[in-house]
Amino acid sequence: MGRKDNKKPRFQKKSFDKAAKAERKVGKDVKYQDVEMKNEKFITYYKTQNILPEEEFDTFVECLKTLLPVSFRITGSRSHAAELRDLMIKEYFPTMSDFEIDGEKIEVPKPLPWYPDNLGWISTLSRSALRKSPQLARFHRFLVAETEVGNISRQEVVSMIPVELLDVKPHHNVLDMCAAPGSKTAQLLEALHANESDAIPEGMVIANDADQNRCYMLVKQAKRLQSPCLMVTNHEAQQFPSIYYSAKDASRSSALRFDRILADVPCSGDGTFRKNKNIWKTWTQGNGNALHRIQLPILLRGASLLRVGGRIVYSTCSFNPMENEAVVAGAIKLSGGALRLVDISNELPALIRKPGLSSWKVQHKDGTFYDAFDDVPEKARKYMVHSMFMPENAAEMNLDRCIRVYPHAQNTGGFFVAVLEKVAQYGALDRSDGLPPQINKDGTVANDDDMDNVDMDATLGVDGEEEDTVESNERKRPAEDESDREPKRLHAESESTTSTPPPTATRTPTVTSIAWQGGESPFVFLAPTNPELIAMRAFFALSASFPTHNFVVRSENENWKTVYFVSTAVRNVITAANSFRLRIVNTGIRVFTRNSNTTTVTATTTSPPETTPTPTPATPTPATPTTTTTKQPIGSPFRLSNEGLSVIGAFVSPNNIIHASLPDIITLLSIEYPKFTQFNGRLQSIFTRIPLGSCIVKFDPAETGDAGEGLVEGCAYEGSVRTPILLPVWRAHVSVSLLLNKAERKSLMHRLTGKELDIVTGLESELPGAAAGAAAGADARAGQAGGEDGETTPEDATVQLEETA
């Protein structure tokens, strides 16, 4: 359950001698470009381990000295990703071939031969080439813009492999044990949402990481996918708690078990030489020896949380058998054969790989190699554990079913992957099937095998101390093309309740249990009988099949502002009997936000003053303008968020969705606050009739209007968008506002028209002098503070346009 009573975790880094600390500091401070790409210890170690044929080894080492190519993945649903892929190929690649820059031949990015649907790409284009060439600079702007909105993810090629081998289906419960920075979590979510006709999959993904700051980075990365099926938690992976849905259930099957688990564990990272030259300076054999004692407990904990028949993928970006085959063999042995390696030779056939090692040696810090633990002198055993050594029955374990990816094979980084299946019971969850769980006051379960209740030193056969080497709780690996900067926490409202929320006649949510650890706000599920929820459901015409009981806020008081939505699978975890053991950092997608003006919108109009004639030619008496104020009620005090539209939109009545033409969509995108009169007659009429508040606008390239009139109104549509899109719009008194931030507008405009968007503020382009200046100031305030994620708030749109109408 993470750290308890402020105690340090069992596998905490040791205090090292001053010389070792000084040596590591030199390695960190040395200038990157001055690093000598040479390390005799590394060469000797891996030649002794016989990881490659002798004739291949020099090529392997030379490849480690070269820069790693840029790689990226096109994300999102398959149809949406395919549209962006086709746009990239059509709009940018034709102008990028057959020329050179400073002697560098420009090569068009190439699809990864083994990644599905040509959605994974690799590029050898250098940064200098991207800066110097106008053709490439345009492509670079495209990559940056689409990355900003989450349509493209910069991700190392080899890190895409584990999720593809995990074989995730929409109904699976998935645990990502060491998830940050989140690129693999995003892949998992895409697999979970593979069935585009199902807006809310049956399964879920719990993304866990031991570093709380990196959990917030993970939230930012995964938030772009707008999935209600994600929960982010903060635990040491080897101490992830057992969760029980019900303490009263007579069956142990009420425990949460996972169908798929990804254990991409902390590792020494010597497969990342090509993007981290400092490893040449800092590498020692002790790195892998120390990390073995963290990695094996993580894999064993994953095995205990996995259901029988489930699949767990273990991976590292290391070449070291201490971190790879030794860990896998140790887990198979210690599980009593409950785990077996899966033959994946027929999966991803275009991926060039080598089989796992069938034998290896363990090197002591003094440089001596040992084949067996019994060969190690008594004094040297304090730095070694039994599981590091090749087991006697290694041949029966089929370790050759592990795969090793080497950089020189396909111009990638180095990686190790093992796919294991749980074929028999292992752990307390399985051994106690049929017995009711006995949950203690602190949330622990009697006779459970949580790793914080197990002496792992005894399990691993540790005779002495951990070897003095790298920090054993260091992070998994350098962030994969993502900033280590901590994102802001999601500010919202939330809490924890029973499976069936009790009815309430007031706005205040009923809370049944909020005593869970973690220091975050509680989760409070809104009762379906909540009057505001009923009104909201009626206003947006949500169908009867929509799971209203999954609306959640993160505030115990009645002034909650933001409403989130979670899937039923996530809700069941939050409301579990001992869910307070979970350190939940974030879950749910924002669907509704309360407006500051919840009752009416005031529209003020000013009539020209009447001139009063005077009997003499003296200066006329100043006339007073006539001001008329009217109030119009808002249809709903909540506005719909773009983040939740992908879920809510599937349940809204078709009669409540406004169909728009391409020119009208372009008007929404390119003008900040367009007036009704700036749209075609049909849309003008609709905006005039509907009540103030949120509405949904739809563009479908395949649709035609009445009397055969195309919704693109004579324009030849050549955009890349082929599937319908839904947009959240706020209808004000005489204007509307598209609730997308500028990055999202820019991306959508490009996909619809092939043009780069330069947003024109409606007020700036139409109002003179001081009014335009005031409008610009209001617009800036809206982008910086008023809206969430840069969205313009409807209040800002209303005030700006109504004051000048």
Catalytic positions, written as ranges:
317
Distances (CA, A) of 388 to 322, 366, 461: 6, 17, 10
Angle between the N-to-C axes of helices 54-64 and 40-49, in degrees from 0 to 180, rounded to the nearest 10: 140
How distant, in Å, are the alpha carbons of 174, 324, 479, 775 from that of 184? 12, 19, 12, 43
Distances (CA, A) of 82 to 31, 149, 196, 506, 749: 42, 16, 13, 46, 17
Exposure pattern of 198-218 as b/e (b: 16+ CB <10 Å)? ebbbbbbbbbbbbbeebbbbb
Cβ neighbours, 10 Å, residue 603: 19
Burial label for 505, CB within 10 Å (0-12, 13-18, 19+), is: exposed
Residue 599 and residue 633 in contact, taking contact as beta carbons nearer than 8 Å: yes
Cα–Cα dist 305/261, whole Å: 9
Return the SS3 of 565. strand
Query: What are the distances in angstroms from CA 513 to CA 117, 207, 522, 556, 769?
Result: 45, 23, 9, 11, 57
Q: Which amino acid is at 214?
A: R
- For residue 392, the tally of other CB atoms under 10 A from its CB is 9
Pairing label, strands 736-738, 562-565: unpaired
Whole-angstrom Cα distance, residue 141 to residue 148? Answer: 11
The count of other CB atoms within 10 Å of the CB of residue 557 is 11
Residue 355 near residue 403, CB atoms below 8 Å: yes
From the list 273, 348, 372, the residue with the least C-alpha distance to 43 is 273
Residue 772, token pair as written in the block: 């335009």
Q: Which helix (H) or strand (E) holds 632?
A: strand 626-633
Amino acid present at 719:
G
CA nearest neighbour of 755 among 720, 725, 792, 714? 720
CA 97/CA 103 separation, integer angstroms: 14
H helices within 674-768, ranges in order?
Answer: 681-689, 742-753, 762-766
Q: How far apart are CA 399 and CA 133, in angstroms?
A: 49
Residue ranges of the binding site = 178-184, 209, 264
* Angular region, 182: left φ>0, alpha ψ -120 to 50, beta rest: left
Which region holds residue 430: left if phi is over 0, alpha if psi is between -120 and 50, else beta? Answer: alpha
Q: How buried is residue 468: exposed, middle or buried, by Cβ count under 10 Å (0-12/13-18/19+)?
A: middle
Q: What is the C-alpha separation between 64 and 414, in angstroms, rounded?
A: 9
Q: Tokens standing for 804? A: 């000048």
Q: What share of the chain is helix, strand, coil (3-state, %, to 5)?
A: 35, 20, 45
Residue 2 near residue 583 (C-beta atoms within 8 A):
yes
